[in-house]
Amino acid sequence: MSIIRFDELKKTWREIGKKATNNDPTFEIEINKKLLDIFHLGNYYYYIFNCTGVEIEFASESVKNILGITDTSDFTVDFALSIIHPEDLTYFYDFETKITQFFSDLPPDKILKYKTNYDFRIKRKDGTYIRILQQNVTIQTNEEGAVIRTLGVHTDISKLKKTNGSTLSFIGLEGEPSYLDVYTGIATYQIEKNIFSKMEQKVLDQLLKGYSSKKIAEILFISKLTVDGHRKNMLKKANCTSTVDLVLKAAKMNWQIPINE
């Protein structure tokens, strides 16, 4: 049984880093060059992702306005993963795996000459979803071809695209060939029998919407203590270690919530 775990994503991202030394880079010149190539018109924020450490080291101030968060330090890897729409999680994982494979196969001198892009939905602090175009380009590598740091840009394209699903493209820079729409983001879910009780399914439904235990308790007219108890039982049943892990598995296993009550 294949289960998407956050640890697997970490392993995927570390793989592309090839255990490279985590040196402090001088970003300014390289970033300014890359920004000219990858920015689109519209609201956007950008961030620096450390593949070896699997952490977001920097996020631009505009992330606060677009996502409705109060501080740029709130934009962590865990947070960024938790706000992806559940229906888009499967192809997000698949695309990131394909990206790792693509860059692992490139000669070291080509690593800095490609950017990737695809789109998916993420949730703002107010609970509404927006569609963002994610573009990434490598800004630090080494002689062995390890991708140490990448620059990512999230552009709000909600007004430009209304349909779900996405395609993954590799865009060649500095004269390199491009590979457009090479993978299609159509979820290929693995079906597994739902292992939760009716009330647990209701709690899961609210967790997939990103609600806290306190908010879920208000919606379901039960106590927060009861919600916390259900969450603990669900983690045990699903063999998960965190809520993020549980949500990822629910998306992968296509645990739909057939609640008609």
Please give the pLDDT value at position 4: 47
Q: How many CB atoms lie within 10 A of CB 105?
A: 9
All structural domains of the chain, each given as residue ranges with its CATH number in brackets, are 6-184 (3.30.450.20), 198-252 (1.10.10.10)
Instruction: State how far the Cα of 111 lies from the Cα of 174, in Å rounded to an integer.
Output: 12
Is the pLDDT confidence value at 229 over 60? yes
Residues of the chain above pLDDT 90, percent: 38
Which of 99-108, 175-184, 189-198, 228-237 is the least confident region? 189-198
pLDDT digits (tens, 9 = 90+) for 71-122: 999 999 989 999 999 889 888 988 988 898 888 888 988 999 999 999 999 9
Average of per-residue pLDDT across 175-197:
72
CA distance 172 to 182: 13
Percent of the chain exceeding pLDDT 70 equals: 76
Query: What are the pLDDT digits (tens) for 195-219?
Result: 888 899 889 888 877 788 999 999 9
In tens, the pLDDT along 16-64 reads 666 555 555 555 545 655 554 555 556 889 999 998 888 999 999 999 9
CA dihedral defined by 207, 213, 218, 221, rounded to 10 degrees? 90
